[in-house]
Amino acid sequence: MAATQRASTASELLDDKAAALISSADEESALGPSPCSTASIIPKHLRALNGRIERLAGFEARGISRVPPDQRRPPSLADDLQVAIMWFSANISLNNLAAAMLGPLVLGLGFVDCALLAVSGAFVGSLTTAYMSVWGPQSGNRTMVVLRFFMGYWPSKIPCFLNVVLMVGYATIDGIIGGQVLSAVSGGTMTIVVGIVVVSIVCWVVAVFGMALFHKYERYSWIPQVLALFVLIGVAGPHFDPSSASRSSGALLAAQRLSFFNICLYVPNSWAAAASDFYVYYPEKTSRSKIFCLTLTGIWTAFCLVYLIAIGLGTGVANMPAWADANAVSSGALVVAGYEPLGGFGRLCAVIVALGVIANSIPSTYSAALGCQTLGRYGKAVPRWLWSSLLIVVELVLAVAGREHLFLIFQNFLALMGYWVMIMVVIVLEEHLLFRRGRGFEWSRWEDRAHLPIGWAALTAFLVGWVGAVLGMSQAWYVAASPS
């Protein structure tokens, strides 16, 4: 009985916190001059339609406006656990399985090499996201708004735009993998395109309604996911090849190890561009170490689990002809082949795993919509729910167009996105630790261009970082010149 009461209380607290998001209109900052009134940009009849939609029960109306301290409440232990669960739930998805498969299947690395590189790479990538998450409670602002205080109003728009591309890209990959698995489970009677549409529709519903429905979904979606993954370990694990060795040697092997380490780092690291978005309702005085540890625990444990499963599947392809045939079709088909000995129950587990990508694409789409609002006054004038709807359409089109080229997208997209996110984190670290030396910000002036820094130094650092990245780049679309 006591356990039931605690669970009920935790649920009510989380729902209350989400309910604070649900206001009748997106609030403007009252403490700093706004560049333009968003109401004057939207036609009257569209404002009326938006008002009716935002009054729906459980609908989040808030966009990028700051959450003032009086609208926050001290979190309970259950709230803290919910945040760690959110990160865990969002990242035990098939898209992360596909990323780790690159090690054995594309780079030719052995099991031990892949396992060590994946776990350590995931840890480093999770550290950057955990660091960026601490700014949410302090500021009450979304991540890309926080960046204005470190890079300036105009320069911060560059990483903001790149973040929209990043989040849309990950949601696109989610759609492709989910569609592949659903198609493989159906024996080809359902095309990959139909599977992509199914994933997109569910993602649209949750992303449009916002944080209230999002937290409820993430609160429970991880349970069937973990059970299905453990079943996969049990049935496919005997065919993993832990004795497999890397096929290369010397400088080539070192390069392949570094590439795989970076791939495994880039995926959790990419959440750094959205980490603060999910903590804006925590009180200003919330312990930084608590937020850091909650985020790190949720992300790293999720990536360790899925990376090691993916590496096992990848090493088993060489010894299992059925797995090799499935891998030739798609990475999603390889997952289904792992469940094949279980028959109908295995197909059910594969469907559960396929639908698990929705938990990953929802926060991606949600943060991308906030990024669109942060780009400028016209972007801010468009309601968050409408941006989410438009982005779902874009993700659907991109997923359908790229459904036959998943590994190629992973190899090139992840590397490109990894460059700028790490540069952004380093700029924030430098400003925080070296130049400001712990001095605070006036977070309420997030729209006041006169108060925000011009950002020339940050812009220069960002561009110089890109120059360094390009000089060492080796991608399908560009290879830097080797030193003579």
User: Percent of the chain scored above 70 by pLDDT?
Assistant: 81
Q: Average pLDDT in the 368-397 region? A: 88
pLDDT of residue 25: 36
243-281 pLDDT, tens digit per residue, is: 999 988 888 999 899 989 988 998 899 999 999 988 888
- Does residue 70 register a pLDDT over 90? no
pLDDT of residue 19: 41
More confident residue, 415 or 154: 154
Q: Around Cβ 156, how many Cβ atoms within 10 Å?
A: 27
pTM: 0.83
227-247 pLDDT, tens digit per residue, is: 999 999 999 999 999 999 998
Q: How confident is the model at residue 309 (pLDDT cuts 50, 70, 90)?
A: very high
- Does residue 22 register a pLDDT over 50? no
- Residue 171 burial (CB < 10 Å; 0-12/13-18/19+)? buried
Least confident range from 32-41, 157-166, 169-178, 399-408: namely 32-41
pLDDT of residue 349: 92
- Does residue 181 register a pLDDT over 60? yes
Q: Average pLDDT in the 318-332 region? A: 87
Q: How confident is the model at residue 282 (pLDDT cuts 50, 70, 90)?
A: confident
Q: How far apart are CA 358 and CA 395, in angstroms?
A: 13
Closest CA to 102 of 402, 332, 307: 307
| Amino acid making up residue 357 | V
CATH superfamily assigned to domain 2-479:
Hydantoin permease (1.10.4160.10)
186-197 pLDDT, tens digit per residue, is: 776 788 888 889
- Does residue 31 register a pLDDT over 60? no
Q: Average pLDDT in the 416-430 region? A: 87
Q: Average pLDDT in the 416-442 region? A: 85
448-473 pLDDT, tens digit per residue, is: 888 999 999 999 999 998 888 878 77
- Does residue 59 register a pLDDT over 80? no
User: Percent of the chain scored above 90 by pLDDT?
Assistant: 39
- Does residue 40 register a pLDDT over 90? no
pLDDT of residue 386: 86
Backbone angles phi, psi at 478, to 5 degrees: -165, 135
- Does residue 9 register a pLDDT over 50? no
Q: Average pLDDT in the 316-339 region? A: 88
pLDDT of residue 21: 38
CB of 265 within 8 A of CB of 124?
yes
CB of 158 within 8 A of CB of 296?
no
Sequential DSSP letters for 32-51: S--SS-GGGTS-HHHHHHHH
Q: How far apart are CA 139 and CA 147, in angstroms?
A: 11
93-130 pLDDT, tens digit per residue, is: 887 888 899 899 989 999 999 999 999 999 999 999 99
More confident residue, 261 or 23: 261
Token duo for residue 244: 């497999």
Least confident range from 13-27, 168-182, 295-309, 382-396: namely 13-27
Q: How far apart are CA 304 and CA 293, in angstroms?
A: 16
- Does residue 211 register a pLDDT over 70? no
Q: For the chain, what is the mean pLDDT?
A: 82
Q: How confident is the model at residue 7 (pLDDT cuts 50, 70, 90)?
A: very low
- Does residue 477 register a pLDDT over 60? yes
Q: How far apart are CA 56 and CA 399, in angstroms?
A: 30
Token duo for residue 123: 């840890």
pLDDT of residue 418: 66
